């Protein structure tokens, strides 16, 4: 089918991830205090607008901080914080949150079936590949390719991100991952976005 071809092309857009500093999780715990107000001391934010960072791949978190500091990923609330962080600070903070355990939320049972279908099978009628093709069957992500873990993430945050991608939001012209997401998200309806975001909120990553 056509969407399988699209997925193959999308994978070919992946570029090698930049070489990042080695992080020290112990050092990162103290440095992460500045993040706690929004993301929680252990990376499990209680405010659904702010993402949970616990258990996220260190390389992904570090890259996002680099993008924010460079002004390529626009998060006004993060800009001032990121500007004050050194490369080692970003590596240490990322390493710390990567060692924490994400706490999955509860999903709305009325939306689970539709969300799971889209996540696991995509939608061939609208040329949408299965989300798990990149983010893994348990939402564990793929650190080697730069794809984040999604399991347990706030539905509100996931929905906001998907709508942003659908509107064409990218993290710099050379960012392959966000380019792929804009191509996928532009085919998603509001109902599909809400359903898959809800499904992710209750998805538990494999232990």
The ranges assigned to domains in the chain are 25-98, 104-201
The whole-angstrom separation of Cα 45 and Cα 174 is 30
Domain 25-98 matches domain 104-201 at the CATH topology level: yes
3-state secondary structure of 64: helix
**Residue 13, C-beta contacts closer than 8 angstroms, at least 6 positions apart:** 176, 179, 180
104-201 CATH choice from 1.10.760.10, 2.60.120.10, 3.30.70.1060, 1.10.8.50: 1.10.760.10
SS3 86: coil
Which of 144, 39, 47 is closest to 93 using CA atoms? 39
Residue 204 binned pLDDT confidence (cut-offs 50, 70, 90): confident
pLDDT band at residue 205 using 50, 70 and 90 as cut-offs:
low
Average pLDDT estimate for 148-168: 97
DSSP H helices in 55-185: 58-69, 76-83, 87-98, 109-121, 132-135, 155-166, 176-185
Who contacts 134 (Cβ-Cβ below 8 Å, separation ≥6)? 142, 145, 147, 180
State mean pLDDT over 109-131.
96
Q: What is the pLDDT of residue 177?
A: 86
User: Which residues fall within 8 angstroms of residue 1, CB to CB, at 6 or more apart?
Assistant: 124
Enter the tokens of residue 94.
């990322």
pLDDT at residue 77 in the model:
93
**Whole-model pTM?**
0.89
Neighbours of 31 (CB within 10 A): 19
Average pLDDT of the residues in 148-167: 98
pLDDT at position 19: 56
CATH of domain 25-98: 1.10.760.10
3-state helix, strand and coil shares in percent for the chain, rounded to the nearest 5: 55, 0, 45
Q: Which tokens hold the place of 32?
A: 């992460």
Query: What are 179's two structure tokens?
Result: 């380019």
Q: What is the pLDDT of residue 20?
A: 63
Using CA atoms, how far apart are residues 133 and 123, in angstroms rounded to an integer? 13
pLDDT tens for each residue of 181-196: 999 999 999 999 999 9
pLDDT in tens, 67-118: 999 999 999 999 999 999 999 999 999 999 999 999 999 999 999 999 999 9
pLDDT digit string, tens, across residues 10-69 = 444 444 455 566 899 999 999 999 999 999 999 999 999 999 999 999 999 999 999 999
pLDDT value for 158:
98
Return the structure tokens found at 22. Answer: 């080695």
Residue 143 pLDDT greater than 80, yes or no: yes
């Amino acid at each position: 089918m056509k969407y399988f071809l699209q997925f193959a092309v999308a994978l070919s857009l992946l570029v090698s991830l930049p070489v990042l500093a080695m992080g020290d999780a112990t050092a990162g715990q103290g440095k992460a205090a500045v993040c706690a107000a929004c993301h929680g001391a252990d990376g499990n934010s209680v405010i659904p607008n702010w993402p949970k960072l616990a258990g996220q791949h260190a390389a992904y978190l570090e890259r996002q901080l680099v993008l924010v500091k460079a002004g390529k990923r626009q998060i006004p609330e993060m800009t001032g914080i990121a500007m004050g962080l050194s490369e080692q600070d970003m590596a240490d903070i990322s390493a710390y949150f990567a060692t924490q355990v994400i706490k999955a939320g509860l999903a709305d049972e009325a939306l689970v079936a539709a969300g799971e279908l889209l996540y696991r099978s995509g939608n061939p009628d609208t040329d949408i590949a299965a989300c798990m093709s990149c983010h893994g069957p348990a939402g564990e992500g793929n650190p080697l390719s730069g794809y984040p873990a999604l399991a347990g993430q706030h539905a509100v945050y996931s929905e906001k991100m998907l709508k942003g991608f659908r509107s064409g939001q990218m993290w710099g012209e050379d960012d392959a991952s966000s380019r792929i997401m804009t191509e996928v998200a532009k085919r998603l309806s509001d109902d599909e976005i809400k359903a898959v975001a809800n499904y992710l909120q209750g998805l538990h990553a494999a232990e």
